[in-house]
Structure 1
Amino acid sequence: MAADLPMSPQLEQIHGEIRDNFRALANGFQRLDKIKDSNRQSKQLEELTVKMRECKRLIKEFDRELKDEEGRNPPEVNKQLNDEKQSMIKELNSYVALRKTYMSTLGNKKVELFDMGAGVSEPTADDNFQVASAMSNQELVNAGMKTMDETDQTIERTKKVVEQTIEVGTETAVQLKGQTDQMGRIVNELDTINFSIKKASQLVKEIGRQVATDKCIMLFLLLIVCGVIAIIVVKIVNPNNKNIRDIPGLAPPAPTRRLLYLREAEYFN
């Protein structure tokens, strides 16, 4: 049937390469049954995995070419080519499932995932190896609903994380604001203390100047008192000292009254 399909040279070449790889896969799995050594079986499975990856790539390329030529082909030809593509996808999926069986037999439970894309299935951890194009409408709806539920759950978790982040950010902002206000009050108090220190320094300087002035006045008064005391002492010790008489306030009073009395007596006589 595939040989009777009307294909362009590009599609025919890709289709031929895919079929060659399928034959190589079939022969490889047949030889795998004859291999008894587990190490050789693992190596053979690795080679078959490379072939399956190549088939995946070629099927994706076949699908791209098919879409490019879809407008130039009649509807019935497009249908036949799409059916052939689905047939190749199912055949590849059968080899993937067969590979999983051999891997389980070897005791390796890990199944490599194939990103088939563009109509090629992606093997999962369960036994269902189906592609979207091979699934029924109900299965597609169920798969879509499941994906939407998972997406909603992820969104809810993300919202919770965002809310927690916002709460932490708000608390941090409040703490920073409180610390900023506290720093502002500390700066104001430091300014007040600095102003008080400057004012106190000025007062100390003024008091120092006033004390110095008072000391000078007291010293001058002390000198005056000492001078007066010295004059009084000298007067007492030597009352006839002419130098003392010449000092205003300390010299004895002049005999003005006696002279006036003598003049009056002479006048009347």
Structure 2
Amino acid sequence: MASEELAEIEGQISDVLRALANGFQKLEKIKDSNRRSRQLEELTDKMRDCKRLIKDFDRELKDSEYKNGPEINRMMNEKKQSMIKDLNSYVALKKRHTTDLENKRVDLFEGTGEGFAEEENVLLASNMTNQQLIDHGNQMMDETDEAIDRAKKVVHATVDVGTETAAALKSQTEQMSRVVNELDTIHFSMKKASQLVRELGRQVATDRCIMALLFLIVIGVIAIIIVKIVNPHNSSIRDIPGLAPPVPTRRLLFTSK
């Protein structure tokens, strides 16, 4: 069976998906643009929560994968893919509603402007003579030429900014490459230094063992010398070279004839 954490997160995701389904059904019935916009913002927040919960579900699934059997892991992965698919469908639905809402606002704005412009042009044309109409047309052409010139300047400025940005990005990329190479060199140096430190540690430990052994040998020899001096007739150290008592001289006895 799956862990309790997975089951709890799955339940929370199911609740959010259910709330999204109800929210979009409610959105279809709302006609006011402002209310539709607020409803879309609420649904967007719920989709963010759902995305965060799916990430938590995936992380918990990876952490408990070794505890679960293959069949449970397969089933949990299928559930995760299904939840991701549902969330993506709601994201696409939200984009469609947002686009429709923006198009309606643009159409409303442009339609109002065109109506006023057409009405104004009709009033002007009805009150103008032929010469006035020609002068007004020339003025509009001059204004259009000026607007085109301004647009060209904006385009050239945009191109210059884009070129400078590309050069800056290239320089930053090269700098990042140098930084990465330096970090690799530092990492290699630290690795070699760690190896040298370990080798020195082993050598120091070996030297300490040898010194300790020599110290024990010296202490032992000193102890034997002290014991021999204190008790020269000790038989347990009689056979040690240099410390054993001198062998008494044997004299041959000759019988006199």
Q: What band does the TM-score fall into relative to the shorter chain?
A: 0.3 to 0.5
Q: Name the TM-score, length of structure 1 as normaliser.
A: 0.41
| Greater C-alpha Rg | 1
Structure with more contact order per residue of length (Cα contacts < 8 Å, sep ≥ 6): 2
TM-score for the superposition, normalised by structure 2? 0.43
Q: Which has the higher helix share?
A: 2
